[in-house]
Amino acid sequence: MEKNIFTQKLEARWEKGLFLCVGLDPVLEKLPAHFAKTPNSILEFNKQIIDATAQYVCAFKPNSAFYEAFGAEGWSVLQETISYAQEKYPEIPIILDAKRADIDSTNLGYTRAIFETLGADAVTIHPYLGQHAVQPFLNYKDKGIIILVRTSNPGAGEFQDLLLDDKPLYQHVAQKIASEWNTNNNCAVVVGATYPEELAVVRKIVGDMPILIPGIGAQGGDLEKTVKAGQDSRGWGMIISASRSIIYASDGEDFAEKAREESEKMHRQIQNALKK
């Protein structure tokens, strides 16, 4: 089956050896001191981070919560951030980390907002309501539908590790996505870097499907273990996400340069891990 636009963009970046995804998750209180503490400052901050790190990334990933907190003004900043990245770097896909999930009629609204209004290339969603509910997302053949499987938070196992037919629930979810949901070849999954053993299991289940891997950097995921467990049969397949450790690498006027240095450092670390 022909690769969709999201996957084509990803694979073009992977072919260049780029697997880092920078999360654009700005918090006003953490912006460098010379920025005014207003939503408009977030837009300027994002632009400089995007320009500083673009050469090292396979994707950018704004989390919608950091923008929705400011209401209509925040939504506008999110939209302008996505537009800026796509206009300057159209080859780099934008993943909206929104973790949406609802019944199918509600999801129609979510898909229009995310893919048509904002123009994101991919979105994260919950699988809990089942395939019928999330079908409006799956119907967008050229977008990436990135489904939560084994998340990076400390309490992830409360439900995700529950045994069903002697296998944890997250494995059933991964199998369902790989075998039944991915008819448009537009699915990917989320597995946290904080659980490398589970990541390796999911990789075996989903084959060469893209895996979004949060938890590197501030959350403490082991990069070498992540690369070993997460790479596909081609040594690709990974969207390794880091946010705070990069965008807040400095709280001074050199924040963009420090973000560039930190992203380059992580890029080199990923490359070294791939060689081992």
Q: What are the residue numbers of the active site? A: 99
Q: How far apart are CA 55 and CA 47, in angstroms?
A: 14
Residue 240, helix vs strand vs coil = strand
Q: How far apart are CA 116 and CA 143, in angstroms?
A: 11
Beta strand 163-164 pairing with 144-150: unpaired
- The C-alpha R_g of the chain, in whole angstroms, comes to 18
Residue 15, helix vs strand vs coil = helix
**Beta carbons of 129 and 156 less than 8 angstroms apart:** no
DSSP string, 103-161: -HHHHHHHHIIIIIIS--SEEEE--TT-HHHHHHHHT-TTSEEEEEEE-SSTTTHHHHT
Q: Which two tokens stand for residue 214?
A: 């949060």
Rounded (5°) CA angle 212-207-151: 30
Scanning 22-97, the segments in alpha helix (DSSP H) are 39-53, 65-68, 71-88
DSSP string, 80-104: HHHHHHHHH-TTS-BEEEEEE---H
Q: How far apart are CA 221 and CA 217, in angstroms?
A: 7
Length of the chain: 276
